Structure formats: structure tokens, C-alpha cells
Amino acid sequence: MASGGDSGDGKGHEPRVPKDMKGLLQYCITAAGTESESDTQSGRTFEPMSEERRQWLEKALDEMSVSPVQRMKSCVSVLLDEKDDDETVEKKLNALDETMEWCEQIDFAIDFHKTGGFNTFDKLLDDPEPEIRWKTLELIATLVQNNPYCQKAILEFHYVPVLIKILDTDHNSTVKVKALYALSCLTRNDLDCQNEFSKHDGFSTLMRAMQTDVEKLKIKAAFMLSSICSDRPEFKDTLCNMGMIEQLVGHLTEKHSNFHEHLMSAILCVITDHEPSIQECLKQELNFPRLLRERITFLEGKVEFEEEKNYAGEILKLICSNDHEEILR
């Protein structure tokens, strides 16, 4: 009887069962290129493993023995390189890509902070190469998404006002979009980050983002506004007092676009259970009820804009309810 530790030897013994992925891959490399006697007798045939496939498996084996922390430390060294030639830029972009892949796992994202990775951000966010700036912002978004540890760490590094400034002033539209993405991930379900965002006039920056000609940026700004208002209804007073309702309604008078669905959603979110905002909607100079009725008529039968039409109907019900005497027809 074969012992339990016996491995495949071509004499009828079963190969040892791999105990981990590395063992499984090693088994594949060893076994896939051979044909046992029993396989021949049963009529089953196997073709030898191609050289390309063998190299792929060997590479996978090598990578499985790599330490993520050591790899991230190597990336940090590259990112801190002071040279600014084309080769160094390419290396930094590759290092950012690799770091982002590791940091998609929360534990590795925390390790990146613990190994000093956050110390690279000041330099990277000020890099003259836009792609380095926006990939750094994308990395920050990856680090903080659903990760309270990294959200807290970003606060401790005082990066909320930095991200707001980038969103407001950077000349590259992709950088602006990624800055907003990072802020959105950072403030999601985190009261401290939301407070910091409000403290540094983040809502005014969102307002200005919606005034740009970059539709993706406008849509994301409206979405973030809705998200924060849903989490923190107390911010509605701030938004109402700064004239946000008037700004949002004003955008609805512009040429119709996909952005308007997100505008309607944001308006509905702000005015729900907030009487001061409803009264803002009823100011005569806005002609908002009439605009809503005209929009509903315009969208009738347009399936692709069904959500926007529904939002408009809900807003109209709220501002033209029996509790409000000023109704413009």
C-alpha cells in the first residue's frame, strides 16, 4: 500500500494533493507536460504544455512568492525619485499602477500607509505631469474607499483642503474629475470627513464644478451633493443659505443634457423635509413650478429620461402641496 506521503511516480500511485495555490500551480507545470500509462490505456491523451503556457505559470509562481509590502516599498522609492526625465515619469506611472492594484485590498491599503506611502502625495499631487497627478488622486480614492483607517489617515495628513483646491483650480479636466472622485470616496459614510469638507467650503467648490463645461465633472458633483445631503440633512441649511437652490434651478434652464437628471435628483434631495429650501423654490423670479411642468411635458414618452421626469414630478408635488400658498401656474 502506498504511503500517504508518496507522490506520483508513474507506478500507479496518486499524486500528493496540493495544499495551496502555489502547490497547485507547481503540480500543473509538472503534470501537464506528461502522459501517464493509465491515461494512455483509457484513450485519453494530453498534449505537451506550450512554452508560452509554461512561462505564464512559472511567472505566476514567482509572483505568488512576492511580498506585497516589499513591492509597495519599492514603489514608494520610485515615487520619491527627484528626477523628472521621461524614463522616470514612466517608472512613476507604472509604480502608481502597481500600488493601486495592491491597495484594492483593504489590508494592503493600510500597509501602504504604515510603510510611509502617504508621504509621497505632496510631491505627486504637485507634479507637472497631469497623468501622475490624476493617477495619484485615483490611488487616494482606492485607499479610502470603504476604509475607515485610511480615511482617518488622510484627515491626519490634512489632505481634504488640498483635494478641494485641486478640484477648484487644476487646469486639467481629468485631474479635476479624479479629485472629485477622491473626495466622494473620502466623505462617503464618514462624518469627520464630511465635516472637514464643509468646513473648507467644499460645497462652494461643488457649485463651481457644476458651472464648468465638463459634463462628467458636473454629474459627479451633483451626485456627491445628493449623497452628502442624504447622509447629513443638517447641511441643507448651509446649502440653502449659500444660494444652492437658485444655482441648481438655473442650470435647468440651460440646454437639456444628461446632467439634468442628476440636477433634479440633487434638488429633490435638498428640499425633502426642508421647508426653507422649498420656499426658495417658490421665489417668483425662478418660475420653477412652470419650468417643471414644461420639462415634464418635454420628457413625456422619452424612455431614456424617465428618471428625470419622475424626479420633476416629485419636486412639483413637494413645492405645490396644499401647505404652500405660493403656486405659480
| Domains within the chain, CATH numbers bracketed | 64-182 (1.25.10.10)
Please determine, for residue 27, whether its predicted confidence score (pLDDT) is greater than 80: no
Assign 1 a pLDDT band (cuts: 50, 70, 90): very low
**What is the reported pLDDT for 66?**
74
Closest CA to 138 of 125, 155, 152: 125
> What b/e string do you get for 183-218 counting C-beta neighbours within 10 Å, with b at 16 or more?
bbbbbbebeebbebbbebebbebbbebbeeeeebbb
| Cβ partners under 8 Å of residue 274, min gap 6 | 233, 236, 237, 240
Task: Report H helices in the chain.
Answer: 21-32, 37-41, 51-64, 68-79, 86-103, 106-114, 121-125, 130-144, 148-156, 160-169, 173-187, 191-199, 202-209, 215-231, 235-241, 244-251, 259-271, 275-281, 288-299, 306-319
**What is the reported pLDDT for 324?**
52
Please determine, for residue 14, whether its predicted confidence score (pLDDT) is greater than 60: no
Residues 271-281 have a mean pLDDT of 96
Separation CA 14–CA 9 (nearest Å): 8
Mean pLDDT of the chain: 87
Assign 60 a pLDDT band (cuts: 50, 70, 90): low
Closest CA to 308 of 261, 251, 259, 268: 261
Residue 128's Cβ-count burial label (10 Å; 0-12, 13-18, 19+) is: exposed
What are 28-46's pLDDT values in tens digits?
A: 656 555 544 445 555 555 5
Assign 321 a pLDDT band (cuts: 50, 70, 90): confident
**What is the reported pLDDT for 6?**
45
Assign 54 a pLDDT band (cuts: 50, 70, 90): confident
Separation CA 21–CA 92 (nearest Å): 31
Say which amino acid occupies 259: F
**What is the reported pLDDT for 9?**
47
What are 146-182's pLDDT values in tens digits?
A: 999 999 999 999 999 999 999 999 999 999 999 999 9
Assign 83 a pLDDT band (cuts: 50, 70, 90): confident
Separation CA 109–CA 107 (nearest Å): 5
State what percent of residues in the chain have pLDDT above 70.
81
Lowest mean pLDDT among 80-84, 151-155, 291-295: 80-84
Q: Measured between alpha carbons, how far is residue 255 from residues 82, 259, 260, 264, 305 in Å?
A: 47, 10, 9, 14, 14
> What b/e string do you get for 266-305 counting C-beta neighbours within 10 Å, with b at 16 or more?
bbbbbbbebeebbebbbeeebebbebbbebbeebeeeeeb
